[in-house]
Amino acid sequence: GENVEQHPSTLSVQEGDSAVIKCTYSDSASNYFPWYKQELGKGPQLIIDIRSNVGEKKDQRIAVTLNKTAKHFSLHITETQPEDSAVYFCAAGLMEYGNKLVFGAGTILRVKS
């Protein structure tokens, strides 16, 4: 089955700097890669997603890149702000197979002001 590894487990950046979180997946059939942000005591919130027919997607300060050959994808946050501090999860899934997502273990992002 699918296995997703996420790095780093914690990341501290200065306000205004960029943050990058990387994930690798094992099943080359996976075709859907969402990223979620989770604040304390809340459910995960979808922040961006990408499908395997696209190499890069951007939404304001957030971007995701996908390298299908290497089976890894990354989240890029530019101009970080204190409100970006949260736990971020990547996931991989095959939509045709019920969209069963396998999640990474999460990255705690701290933005210091």
Partner 1 sequence: DGGITQSPKYLFRKEGQNVTLSCEQNLNHDAMYWYRQDPGQGLRLIYYSQIVNDFQKGDIAEGYSVSREKKESFPLTVTSAQKNPTAFYLCASSMDRFKPQHFGDGTRLSIL
Binding site for partner 1 (CB under 8 A): 1, 4, 6, 34, 36, 41-46, 49, 89, 91, 95-96, 98-106
Output the six-digit token pair for 3.
Answer: 């296995």
Q: CB of 41: closest distance to partner 1 in angstroms? A: 8
| CA gap 24, 104 in Å, rounded | 9
Name the strand (E) or helix (H) holding 20: strand 19-25
The rounded Cα 4 to chain-centroid distance in angstroms is: 11
Q: CB of 73: closest distance to partner 1 in angstroms? A: 15
Q: CB of 67: closest distance to partner 1 in angstroms? A: 21
